[in-house]
Amino acid sequence: MSQFIENCWYVAAWEHELTAGGLFARTVCDVPLVMWRDQGGLPVALEDRCCHRGAPLSLGRREGDCVRCLYHGLKFDSTGACIEVPGLDRAPPKARVRRLPCVLSHRWVWVWLGEPALADESLIPDAHWLDEPGWACTPPGYLHYAVNHRLINDNLLDFSHLAYVHQGTLGGSEAYAQLRPEIEDIPSGLRITRWQLDVPPAPFVAKVKRYPGNVDRWNIYDFVLPGVLLMDSGFAPTGTAAREGHRADAVEFRSCQAVTPESAGSSHYFFAQPRNFAHGDEAVDRSLHSSLVEAFEEDRGIITAQSRAFAKDARFEPLPMWVDSALIRFRRLEDEARRRDGVARPERPSAAAPSSLAA
Amino acid sequence: MSQFIENCWYVAAWEHELTAGGLFARTVCDVPLVMWRDQGGLPVALEDRCCHRGAPLSLGRREGDCVRCLYHGLKFDSTGACIEVPGLDRAPPKARVRRLPCVLSHRWVWVWLGEPALADESLIPDAHWLDEPGWACTPPGYLHYAVNHRLINDNLLDFSHLAYVHQGTLGGSEAYAQLRPEIEDIPSGLRITRWQLDVPPAPFVAKVKRYPGNVDRWNIYDFVLPGVLLMDSGFAPTGTAAREGHRADAVEFRSCQAVTPESAGSSHYFFAQPRNFAHGDEAVDRSLHSSLVEAFEEDRGIITAQSRAFAKDARFEPLPMWVDSALIRFRRLEDEARRRDGVARPERPSAAAPSSLAA
Amino acid sequence: MSQFIENCWYVAAWEHELTAGGLFARTVCDVPLVMWRDQGGLPVALEDRCCHRGAPLSLGRREGDCVRCLYHGLKFDSTGACIEVPGLDRAPPKARVRRLPCVLSHRWVWVWLGEPALADESLIPDAHWLDEPGWACTPPGYLHYAVNHRLINDNLLDFSHLAYVHQGTLGGSEAYAQLRPEIEDIPSGLRITRWQLDVPPAPFVAKVKRYPGNVDRWNIYDFVLPGVLLMDSGFAPTGTAAREGHRADAVEFRSCQAVTPESAGSSHYFFAQPRNFAHGDEAVDRSLHSSLVEAFEEDRGIITAQSRAFAKDARFEPLPMWVDSALIRFRRLEDEARRRDGVARPERPSAAAPSSLAA
């Protein structure tokens, strides 16, 4: 069983990272990828390794919708088929690199690592707020983590840490840490809901909206496989029935975040924060983006330290607390998905002896 | 059998490293420690890893004599007991981190890694010169080594290297390298004695003391487990019977040094040099400290190169020479102590499978 | 079977790296070497590890034709015999370090790693152009590679990459990439020949020689074990029968290159380019040297990227193409040589348990 879920969609890049004429390299779940957008604007993802002698195609050259390896000149089309070998009349059919299903959806570039026939685009989590008119959005955010992705998922599945990790930034009182969220099963994930009713507006809200009295405050987020967070959060005047689904005079956010494994010990983290106010106001964009980066760096600090502690002593067993119930349930979902992969995919033959051409 | 002696006292820090309101992190024999001084001035050492999710407590916050983990807010007292879990009325009794016996003695902070019931303070080596009125002392010295502690011990157990490693600094003539020391067994260690009678005073002595004629010169040091060097060295006019125990008109030093494993491949080295002259003279303090650091950096250079040579070829077998007799005897003492640990401590059950919460 | 050929000569250094009074350290095939030139000018290579406690002799001190270890003072002559141990009347006969046959030949310092009795100097590849009057030569070139030597050999055995890796430097058209070279067996290696007849002179030739019409162009190189390239390349006016062996009015080069393993994952690369024109013209020396370095850095870039791709996935199997026939044949020669080593050398007893003095 692979340590990563195979049959699922992963965020591999922000749309802007795939430039028109260029090649973009990123590793997802130990698979090195070369990505680009073809002349029709469609994203392409191939394994970033020439089938001939292993050179990265991302160091090669775009030629129209194809890529040429700049070691010995093999040329591949966007299906991964080799269409030219210098000195041969035709490329041998065995010459090809793996192509991965790749879809651009709402500014995120998604790749499917598993069985291509199972790559159903309707399974892609819906992050439409990222590019929907009516929602203003911070610039695309990215952090690289030198930790296993599960530790980041854990962090995102338990917001009680806001009161301790982000005391000076996002805030979060000790009362917030004690608030027991509602946790529901949803397809491929969990929905986590916290309401604080009739509380004074947080200082950062006072900056963007003047409420005469107390507010109701909520965080409601779906966290779905492989590690995508889609959050509805905001504030509305107490008495306007926000909890019942009304959103009158509300300040709202739709944070979109995705955790993608790079390797067993490193991860990608993509994030941006759509909002329903201050459209086109770049100062607000920058300010919110900075606040996110500052807070997420705090997460990265403590999670990296935690990862080092695990690395020092493989025998250490964490002691589960009530705050861990969401993350325990999510890890179980992940394990089940990996087991389903094993059933879906016929076992590959075991690796043959390394070829005499490998070094 | 652990590769480190467990039932013994290790120097973990200099007194000044444990500040009043702060937290100090250092790893000793692969055990990460968080240390502080409580409001009564007593030193505290806990394992630097929250029992809940593994975050380092040293990144937490002092609250009176307690420490609060700044990941999810668990609070621990100085016995290691968890006394607060946000969202719970009372902390579960299983929630605790390991506390290690910890004692401040003559400016060194000592910790005991083994069975707490065996932590007899009377076993702490006596480095009283470090803070005894009547002895002036250099500032506290510390070097980090990227080598196994045994290679540093070896170096300290054989001063014949003075003529070669420290030719331009501490000096040491080739004659000194040929001088066979007396080696005696003492409790938990060895006493090593070298006398040079009726020799001209060394240049550095001439700076602090004008002797009309020749001097007798001695180095007598105890090297005791786990790796503590306490040395009586000095000069006295020839004819004043220094060797018989008289110390008339003598220049004397009491170098105190401790080698503490950090991990199998890295070590801590603590040192300072008390003396019986130039009390309160900070220029002499600085000058002697600089000389020590310069010489000990020479040791670190050759020992690190030696360690790399061992690492390159695990099959290399050193060829023992007469100068190695003390270090061979000391390694035997260390091995015996590790065997005694195995008898003192009932074997722990073998490590269970990693918890599903570890990454 | 060792992963390196043992019974063969390796280039270990350029002549100028072994200075008169100094000591030079370099590791060849995992064997750390200390090298120097004795007072008669002869090169000496000893294992760079004192037999006593493992300190590198290259950190020691030259004393005449001997070296003294600057840890505990053992002194070794240029045969590797210990001739002095401080404190002993005579060094024990077992005290010695390994001496390797070492020969200076045409500015390259060659060492023999295998059975000394088999070290036949007549087996040293003949790179006489490096210091022969009549040939002008670029300064000695050296690059360090963080890859297995086989990947560099592969690169040198297949010049089709010139059209892709060196498009902007050495040039090489796509037509060049399609040219099938002649590959012949020679003792311990292969001869690879490419002729281009009746072609316009390359731009860089136009700089040094004005030809009225087309030229014949050739690259003929021997690539011999363990990884030495000796190339005859040049240009002559078409119609002067260069291919039949005449060299009238020709611009000629004799590139000499050597790949020497440092370890399984790193290599040394030595190179220089003799020529038959512009003798004593340092501007041409520098210009040619710069061009070589620029092009060889391009090789290093793609080969290092290739090596990382192999490292990421041990199961990757390269797909052989026609351009690989020389490198496949050469790897077979290398494997055969390693097997012959196993027959020549009686199996050493398996490594004993590490001595108690190793760390």
In the structure encoding, which two tokens stand for residue B285, read together?
Answer: 């303090």
Q: Which residues are CB-neighbours of C315 under 8 A, at least 6 positions away?
A: A351, A352, A354
More confident call, C359 vs C54: C54
Which chains does A contact via 3+ CB–CB distances below 8 A?
B, C
- Give backbone dihedrals phi and psi of B282, rounded to 5 degrees, phi first: -70, -25
Decide if C111 touches A, using CB distance below 8 A: no
Distance of CA B299 to the CA centre of its chain: 16
- B151 to C85: CB separation less than 8 angstroms, yes or no: no
Enumerate the residues of chain C whose CB falls inside 8 A of the CB of residue A350.
none
Least confident of B207-216, B340-349, C123-132: B340-349
Nearest to B359 by CA among A161, A313, A28, A149: A149
Decide if A94 touches C, using CB distance below 8 A: yes
- Give backbone dihedrals phi and psi of A77, rounded to 5 degrees, phi first: -90, 180
Decide if B313 touches C, using CB distance below 8 A: yes
- Give backbone dihedrals phi and psi of B215, rounded to 5 degrees, phi first: -130, 160
pLDDT for residue C176 is more than 90:
no
Q: Are A159 and A219 in contact (CB under 8 A)?
A: yes
Residue A353's pLDDT is: 37
More confident call, A359 vs B63: B63
- C72 to B158: CB separation less than 8 angstroms, yes or no: yes
Residue B352's pLDDT is: 38
- Residues B131-158, mean pLDDT to the nearest whole number: 97
How many other C-beta atoms are found inside a 10 Å radius of the C-beta of residue A256?
26
pLDDT for residue C354 is more than 50:
no
- Residues C264-284, mean pLDDT to the nearest whole number: 96
Interface test with chain B among A162, A166, A180, A323, by most B beta carbons within 10 Å: A323
Strand, coil or helix: A47 = strand
In the structure encoding, which two tokens stand for residue B260, read together?
Answer: 């503490």
- C354 to B313: CB separation less than 8 angstroms, yes or no: no
pLDDT for residue C352 is more than 80:
no
* Sign of the dihedral defined by the CA atoms of residues C319, C323, C325, C329, in that order: negative
Separation CA C295–CA C163 (nearest Å):
12
Residue A288's pLDDT is: 93
Decide if B356 touches A, using CB distance below 8 A: yes
Q: Are C260 and C28 in contact (CB under 8 A)?
A: yes
Interface test with chain B among A317, A324, A327, A329, by most B beta carbons within 10 Å: A317
Residue C343's pLDDT is: 80
- B95-114 pLDDT per residue, tens: 999 999 999 999 999 999 99
Distance of residue A97 Cα from the nearest chain C Cα, in angstroms: 11
Q: Which residues are CB-neighbours of A187 under 8 A, at least 6 positions away?
A: A224
Decide if B54 touches A, using CB distance below 8 A: yes
- B145-173 pLDDT per residue, tens: 999 999 999 999 999 999 999 988 777 77
CATH 3.90.380.10 fits C128-339, yes or no: yes
Provide the residue-wise pLDDT of chain A in tens; the chain has 359 residues: 689 999 999 999 999 999 888 999 999 999 999 999 999 999 999 999 999 999 999 999 999 999 999 999 999 999 999 999 999 999 999 999 999 999 999 999 999 999 999 999 999 999 999 999 999 999 999 999 999 999 999 999 999 999 999 988 777 778 888 889 999 999 999 999 999 999 988 777 777 788 889 999 999 999 999 999 999 999 999 999 999 999 989 999 999 999 999 999 999 999 999 999 999 999 999 999 999 999 999 999 999 999 999 999 989 999 999 999 999 999 999 999 999 998 865 544 444 333 445 55
Nearest to A217 by CA among A169, A269, A282, A159: A159
Separation CA C332–CA A4 (nearest Å):
38
- B87 to A320: CB separation less than 8 angstroms, yes or no: no
Strands (E), B150-207: 182-186, 189-199
Enumerate the residues of chain B whose CB falls inside 8 A of the CB of residue C26.
none
- C312 to A30: CB separation less than 8 angstroms, yes or no: yes
- C198-217 pLDDT per residue, tens: 998 877 777 778 888 999 99
pLDDT for residue C346 is more than 90:
no
Residue A357's pLDDT is: 57
pLDDT for residue B273 is more than 80:
yes
Decide if A319 touches C, using CB distance below 8 A: no
DSSP notation for B247-292: -TT-EEE--EEEEEEEETTEEEEEEE-EESSSTT-HHHHHHHHHHH
- B70 to A165: CB separation less than 8 angstroms, yes or no: yes
Residue A64's pLDDT is: 95
- C49 to B316: CB separation less than 8 angstroms, yes or no: yes
- B357 to A318: CB separation less than 8 angstroms, yes or no: yes
Which chain A residue's Cα is nearest to B27? A312
pLDDT for residue B133 is more than 50:
yes
pLDDT for residue B275 is more than 70:
yes
More confident call, C356 vs A82: A82
Residue B102's pLDDT is: 98
Enumerate the residues of chain C whose CB falls inside 8 A of the CB of residue A54.
306, 309-310, 316, 318
pLDDT for residue C355 is more than 50:
no
pTM value is 0.92
Residue A349's pLDDT is: 42
Decide if B87 touches A, using CB distance below 8 A: yes
Instruction: Pick C87's closest partner by Cβ from B150, B154, B180.
Output: B180
Domain with CATH 3.90.380.10 in chain C: 128-339
Which chains does B contact via 3+ CB–CB distances below 8 A?
A, C
Interface test with chain A among C145, C316, C331, by most A beta carbons within 10 Å: C316
The helices-and-strands tally (H runs, E runs) of chain B is 6, 21
- A73 to C174: CB separation less than 8 angstroms, yes or no: yes
Q: Mean pLDDT, chain C, as a whole number?
A: 93
Q: Are A205 and A220 in contact (CB under 8 A)?
A: no
pLDDT for residue C294 is more than 90:
yes
What count of CB pairs under 8 Å joins A to B? 110
- B207-233 pLDDT per residue, tens: 778 888 999 999 999 999 999 999 999
Quick one: pLDDT band at residue B1, thresholds 50, 70, 90? low
- C53 to B318: CB separation less than 8 angstroms, yes or no: yes
What percentage of chain C reaches a pLDDT higher than 70?
95
Q: What angle do CA B5, B8, B9 make, to 5 degrees?
A: 125
Separation CA C115–CA C156 (nearest Å):
29
Which chain B residue's Cα is nearest to A154? B357
CATH classification for the domain delimited by C9-123, as one of 2.60.40.10, 3.10.129.10, 2.102.10.10, 3.10.20.30: 2.102.10.10
- A305 to B356: CB separation less than 8 angstroms, yes or no: no
Distance of residue A113 Cα from the nearest chain B Cα, in angstroms: 22
- C315 to A88: CB separation less than 8 angstroms, yes or no: no
Residue B353's pLDDT is: 37
For A:175-214, CB contacts with B below 8 A are: 177-180
DSSP notation for A290-339: HHHHHHHHHHHHHHHHHHHHHHH-TT------GGGHHHHHHHHHHHHHHH
- C49 to B164: CB separation less than 8 angstroms, yes or no: no
Instruction: Provide ipTM, 2 decimals.
Output: 0.92
Nearest to A51 by CA among B208, C267, C306, B243: C306
Separation CA C73–CA B165 (nearest Å):
9
Q: What number of residues does chain C have?
A: 359
In the structure encoding, which two tokens stand for residue B32, read together?
Answer: 């990460």
Residue C353's pLDDT is: 37
Residue A345's pLDDT is: 59
Decide if B314 touches C, using CB distance below 8 A: yes
Decide if A55 touches C, using CB distance below 8 A: yes
Q: Which residues are CB-neighbours of B358 under 8 A, at least 6 positions away?
A: A310, A314, A316, A317, A318, B54
Q: What number of residues does chain A have?
A: 359
The helices-and-strands tally (H runs, E runs) of chain A is 6, 21
Dihedral of the alpha carbons of B151, B156, B159, B165, in degrees to the nearest 10: 60
Which chain A residue's Cα is nearest to C315? A351
- Give backbone dihedrals phi and psi of B85, rounded to 5 degrees, phi first: -125, 115
Residue A348's pLDDT is: 47
- Give backbone dihedrals phi and psi of A60, rounded to 5 degrees, phi first: -90, -155
Q: Which residues are CB-neighbours of B295 under 8 A, at least 6 positions away?
A: B166, B169, B170
Q: Are B266 and B147 in contact (CB under 8 A)?
A: yes
Give the type of residue at A277. Answer: F
- C306 to A69: CB separation less than 8 angstroms, yes or no: no
- Give backbone dihedrals phi and psi of B250, rounded to 5 degrees, phi first: -100, 145
